[in-house]
Amino acid sequence: MTSANANDLFSTRRAGVLLHPTCLPGTLGVLGAGARRFVDFLAASGITVWQTLPIGPTHLDLSPYQSLSAHAGNQDFIDMSELLQAGLLADAELAQPISESRQELLGIAAQRFFDGQGQGPNGLDLAGFDDFRARNDYWLGDFCLFSAIREVQESPGWLQWPEPLRDRDPEALQVFIDQNQSRLARIRFEQFLFTHQWQALRDYARNRGILLFGDIPIFVAHDSADVWANRHLFKLDAQGEPTVIAGVPPDYFSPDGQHWGNPLYNWNAMAGDGYQWWLERLESQRHLFDLIRIDHFRGLQAYWEIPAETPQPRFGYWAPGPADHFLQACFSRFPDLPLVAENLGIISDDVEELRKRFRLPGMTVMQFGFDGSPDNPHLLHNHQPRDLVYTGTHDNDTTLGWYRSLDDHTRRNVNDYLGTTGEGMPWPVIEAAFRSVCSLAVVPMQDFLGLGTEARFNTPGTIVNNWIWQLDWNFSEEDLSKRITAAVQRHGRLPQD
């Protein structure tokens, strides 16, 4: 299954929700009954777009923007209860604490699967696995090998591996493969399971009129299969250390700027084969999502390059990105590529011109509109139909938390512009976003629930208490669905069949 045409997606007004799958409760995993329950809630509420953050496997900091792979799915999403239904696990095995035994149980299930002991519906069989492996050969082998070595070495990153493994010596890799067949089989099986369950969820959502909206971080983590297997495509020294680091200068997200830690691309090397690595990355995401956001789109025009020897963001400088040459390659391969440009932060005219040349929708955020300037692009009267409007993003406080933190002057500006006293916040902001001419209005689930700062998902520039908020189903789903549906209908955001 591939993604829909971008023009089709923006030919009608829609309402969306922003919720990462890790926010869904479920000790056995989230891609089964838990995710289907959320889809049912969205369908009952008139929401037709579900936006997530990147869904790859994470490091210990849990950030979805620092994944171990640009292609793989997060194995922690796998719903283990569906392995029970497929005859690959037993009730007694699932009775133990899953968080402590997930890897072991997946190993048991993999052994039974490859022994032909259990089979599931809709391609959860050996023939389906063979098809999956053939279609994903361009990334799957490197990822499985990287993940297996990482487990055995128990090291903080591939730079600390023994030199033959670090530098991908063929003989050393073959010895490792020969000695770790069952581990590699388990990791391949995990990715097959993730893809199978994700596609089942995507079908379930699509059958209820809901599209899935994904997110591609422009950069990848240094400790990733992508960098380890493709060192020539990144700005690294002979030992594999980054020579320059990605980040951003000071902006309204972070007054000191941000040091992201990601290595930067060697765009000249990437251009040498027509950006094949990126085209493969887009291919992976097209099979998972109907709509795809490129995070930090401005990095394609110019990116903030921080010297590794002086890692403070203020010592960085702008370096030219691949711009038109890159995007032309993308749309030449995928003419209907459904891309959205994340154009928040310090955005120069040339970045916006690049976005508009390729007719890419951009983003507006209600919380960013109240600096006192009537020309602020985030104010309702400056919105454009093909763009997206958000009450807030995963990097912001919740809208209620934001409103409560405003100084008196800014709060009066908000109230005057929206015609509200602030009562019932954040619903006046949600209603305004739905009223916007933007074709897609997206609301974080925390805002629909009216939650405060305690439900904030991420605070940029910090490394604690991020990515851990979870949805509590202890609210009246019917009452909230009715309220959302009324707002969706009131503002013409319920697509007609």
Task: Answer for the pair 380, 435: CB distance below 8 angstroms, yes or no.
Answer: yes
Catalytic annotation, pick one of 40, 167, 251, 395:
395
Q: For 375-389, what is the mean pLDDT?
A: 97
Per-residue pLDDT tens for 237-283? 999 999 999 998 877 667 788 888 999 999 999 999 999 999 999 99
- Please list, in sequence order, all residues whose beta carbon lies within 8 angstroms of the beta carbon of residue 260, skipping any fewer than 6 positions away: 219, 245, 246, 247, 248
What pLDDT score does 8 carry? 64
- Give yes or no for residue 3 having a pLDDT over 60: no
Per-residue pLDDT tens for 114-130? 999 877 777 899 999 99
What pLDDT score does 144 carry? 98
- Give yes or no for residue 442 having a pLDDT over 90: yes
Q: Is 178 a catalytic residue?
A: no
| Region of residue 226 (phi > 0: left; psi between -120 and 50: alpha; otherwise: beta) | alpha
Label residue 359 by pLDDT band (50, 70, 90). Answer: very high
What pLDDT score does 497 carry? 65
What pLDDT score does 15 carry? 98
CA atoms within 13 A on the CB side of 432: 28
Q: Which amino acid is at 460?
A: P
User: Taking Cα atoms as reference points, which of 285, 284, 297 lies closest to residue 345?
Assistant: 297
Q: Is 104 a catalytic residue?
A: no
Q: Between these two residues, 6 and 462, which has the higher pLDDT value?
A: 462
Q: Which amino acid is at 354?
A: L
Q: For 467-475, what is the mean pLDDT?
A: 96
Per-residue pLDDT tens for 74-115? 999 999 999 998 999 999 999 887 777 999 999 999 999 999
User: Taking Cα atoms as reference points, which of 146, 129, 184 lies closest to residue 70?
Assistant: 146
The residue ranges of every structural domain in the chain are 363-465
* Tokens coding 345: 């932060």
* Tokens coding 462: 């910090």
Q: For 14-29, what is the mean pLDDT?
A: 96
Distance CA 330, CA 286 (A): 12
Per-residue pLDDT tens for 48-64? 999 999 999 999 999 99
What pLDDT score does 122 carry? 75
Per-residue pLDDT tens for 151-177? 999 877 999 999 999 999 999 999 999
In this prediction the pTM is 0.96
Assign 3-state DSSP to the chain and report helix, strand, coil percentages, each to 5: 45, 10, 40
- Give yes or no for residue 5 having a pLDDT over 60: no
Q: For 297-320, what is the mean pLDDT?
A: 94
Write down how long the chain is: 497
Catalytic annotation, pick one of 40, 93, 283, 295:
295
Task: Answer for the pair 68, 224: CB distance below 8 angstroms, yes or no.
Answer: yes
* Tokens coding 309: 């020897």
What pLDDT score does 7 carry? 57
Label residue 345 by pLDDT band (50, 70, 90). Answer: confident
Task: State the DSSP H helix or E strand holding residue 396, giving kind and residue range, or none if neither.
Answer: none
Q: Which amino acid is at 232?
A: H
User: Taking the CB of residue 58, how many other CB atoms lie within 10 A of it?
Assistant: 19
Label residue 2 by pLDDT band (50, 70, 90). Answer: very low
| Region of residue 5 (phi > 0: left; psi between -120 and 50: alpha; otherwise: beta) | beta
- CA 21, 26, 30, 32 torsion: positive or negative? negative
Q: Between these two residues, 433 and 1, which has the higher pLDDT value?
A: 433
* Tokens coding 98: 């899953």
User: Taking Cα atoms as reference points, which of 52, 54, 77 lies closest to residue 64?
Assistant: 54
User: How far is it between the farthest Cα atoms of the chain?
Assistant: 70
Q: For 289-318, what is the mean pLDDT?
A: 94
Q: Return the DSSP state at 299.
A: G
Distance CA 176, CA 274 (A): 32
Angle at 176 between CA 170 and CA 181, to 5 degrees: 125
What pLDDT score does 1 carry? 41
Catalytic annotation, pick one of 79, 342, 387, 397:
342
Distance CA 60, CA 64 (A): 11
Q: For 214-218, what is the mean pLDDT?
A: 98
What pLDDT score does 9 carry? 76
Question: Over the chain, what is the mean pLDDT?
Answer: 94
Task: State the DSSP H helix or E strand holding residue 51, giving kind and residue range, or none if neither.
Answer: strand 49-51
Q: Is 395 a catalytic residue?
A: yes
Distance CA 377, CA 383 (A): 7
Q: What are the strands of the beta sheet with 291-295, ordered from one edge? A: 339-341, 291-295, 211-217, 49-51, 14-18, 440-444, 388-390, 363-365
Question: What's phi and psi for 308, nearest 5 deg?
Answer: -65, -30
Token look-up 């085209």 returns 279
Task: Answer for the pair 263, 245: CB distance below 8 angstroms, yes or no.
Answer: yes
